[in-house]
Structure 1
């Protein structure tokens, strides 16, 4: 089996749990995922099957989310799964104030990842250190938020705002919720999160585990073609015998002195793998045929 599964990750599951479940269902050892999702998050989790695991590093990093941010509350994990640090009524908060504050979270911004995250500091993951009671400040990271759109606003003792966020790789939506609360001086935490797009896969085309099991039992499951997830990369077709030589790991003369990553195809349209141009040659990086 070779290709991708666009999985709709269920609530409460870790990304590792999803890989283990998929491995069992498809009876395949070589399974991996792109873009870790927190257990409390749902939505798109790209799963690579078989040799497609070698392509994970070449998937696009852009992601999109629907998030609910609750104001007036701070937690240890920056979401509702953690312990409450502070909680205060903010009934005087207005939609316009929140809307204005959100504008500063678009573009390239600096973030400190949540204490409970998979970021490594000196070889140790932050969530492991946090569980041991060790306080370690994560390094500041520069991330990019392409767009934030407000979907809904609900007033009350602890107002909530629903937003759609399009962003680059490494962006923590929990950190946006926390930092919005800091800017507003109310406190803020993430109340719900669903990933609607990741690495070229979208929620509308995703499968739940129930869908996957049904298709497997019926014999209708077909992994998504690996090159469909790599459309952001330019492509090149090799004619014989250059395609055979390339598949054998040989460099092929190529009139391009730039350095870029390419999808490589045979003349008849077969996807052969990933190559890179270097000094007028095409170097094999991942050969799949």
Structure 2
């Protein structure tokens, strides 16, 4: 038998304000240590260069992290136009330069229209995507570049928030995008469309799925509570397990129907909302208990998809 991991069996979602110069995995490890949690996972990596909203799932919440991975994201980014970098961001080496002094706000606005809506985007070499089992960034660090297939992404919103002209023009953008969108690739593609090159100088995630910047907590806010071992106070900062799933329709089940589902059986539920997935609750409207996620079958029955333990 494997050795049981030590810690608290805490469950919930922490909206962390990830600091700069720290990887998402490193930030998750620190958050898990602060909460002394047995199990934790993050929901969509942010580069060390980026800060902002990083939902951390503890305990049973990790069962639903995929629904946050699939969610839209909102970013604010500063793009420097007039320079290309090897990594597509400020950490890379300069590989090309151009004078952007003649660039105007109007010219940038005109180019941005090309990148709104459904577009195809080639992932950057400095990404965690794998080729033959190895992350692309490992190949990039060895000076290798491999062909990457363009992938469909959706840019729902792309706004020019500010423009500072100059030999290296600064373009501040607000980006609402689908999962799998690389802001570095977007910056490079915009720079290419302007004929001047571009790279990401700063990046902050403002929203991930339903979670917003206003909800995010920093390590500076959390650590004093950990130092006092005020775990009850820390736990009150966690959001409920189902807070990541509010976009999925909900149904309440009787205790009998819920028991059948827990046993792995598909059940008939009257007046089903549109599917294919459902949030499942046990009990009436007064204090329904979240059970997990169910799936509507072709015959109209509901089958368990992902349930909490001890239901």
With the shorter chain as reference, the TM-score category is over 0.9
2:301 counterpart of 1:281: yes
2:245 counterpart of 1:226: no
SS at match of 2:75: strand
The aligned counterpart of 2:132 is: 122
Unmatched 5+ residue regions in structure 1? none
- Farther-moved stretch of structure 1 (186-195 vs 221-230): 221-230
Task: Give me the whole-angstrom Cα distance separating, in 2, the residues matched to 1:187 and 1:280.
Answer: 53
Task: Give me the whole-angstrom Cα distance separating, in 2, the residues matched to 1:124 and 1:261.
Answer: 34
CA offsets per residue over residues 187-242 of structure 1, 9 Å max, x none? 10011000000021101110011212234434412211011111100011101211
Task: Give me the whole-angstrom Cα distance separating, in 2, the residues matched to 1:87 and 1:143.
Answer: 28
Match among 155, 162, 166 for residue 172 of structure 2: 162
Unmatched 5+ residue regions in structure 2? 1-9
2:220 counterpart of 1:210: yes
The aligned counterpart of 1:63 is: 73
- Farther-moved stretch of structure 1 (247-256 vs 178-187): 247-256
SS at match of 1:191: strand
Post-superposition shift, 1:258? 7.4
Q: CA, structure 1 residues 224+215, in 2 after alignment: closer, same or farther (shift >3 Å)?
A: farther
The aligned counterpart of 2:257 is: 242
Give me the TM-score of the superposition, normalised by structure 1. Answer: 0.96
SS at match of 1:98: helix
Task: Give me the whole-angstrom Cα distance separating, in 1, the residues matched to 2:39 and 2:255.
Answer: 31
Post-superposition shift, 1:153? 0.7
> Do 1:46 and 1:199's aligned partners in 2 also have CA atoms closer than 8 Å?
no
RMSD over equivalenced CA pairs, Å: 1.5
The aligned counterpart of 2:47 is: 38
Post-superposition shift, 1:5? 0.5
2:67 counterpart of 1:47: no
Task: Give me the whole-angstrom Cα distance separating, in 2, the residues matched to 1:150 and 1:231.
Answer: 30
Post-superposition shift, 1:259? 5.4
CA offsets per residue over residues 138-164 of structure 1, 9 Å max, x none? 211110000111111101110001111
Match among 136, 141, 148 for residue 138 of structure 1: 148
2:276 counterpart of 1:260: yes
> Do 1:249 and 1:287's aligned partners in 2 also have CA atoms closer than 8 Å?
no
SS at match of 1:195: strand
Q: CA, structure 1 residues 102+214, in 2 after alignment: closer, same or farther (shift >3 Å)?
A: same
Match among 270, 289, 297 for residue 270 of structure 1: 289
Match among 86, 99, 107 for residue 96 of structure 2: 86
2:30 counterpart of 1:28: no
The aligned counterpart of 1:96 is: 106
The aligned counterpart of 1:107 is: 117
Task: Give me the whole-angstrom Cα distance separating, in 1, the residues matched to 2:224 and 2:116.
Answer: 41
> Do 1:8 and 1:207's aligned partners in 2 also have CA atoms closer than 8 Å?
yes
Q: CA, structure 1 residues 257+199, in 2 after alignment: closer, same or farther (shift >3 Å)?
A: closer
Task: Give me the whole-angstrom Cα distance separating, in 1, the residues matched to 2:121 and 2:300.
Answer: 40
The runs of at least 4 consecutive aligned structure 1 residues that moved more than 4 Å come to 255-259
Post-superposition shift, 1:254? 3.1
Task: Give me the whole-angstrom Cα distance separating, in 2, the residues matched to 1:55 and 1:205.
Answer: 19
CA offsets per residue over residues 15-69 of structure 1, 9 Å max, x none? 1101111121111231001111111000000110001101011235111000001
> Do 2:116 and 2:156's aligned partners in 1 also have CA atoms closer than 8 Å?
yes
SS at match of 2:15: strand
The aligned counterpart of 2:19 is: 10
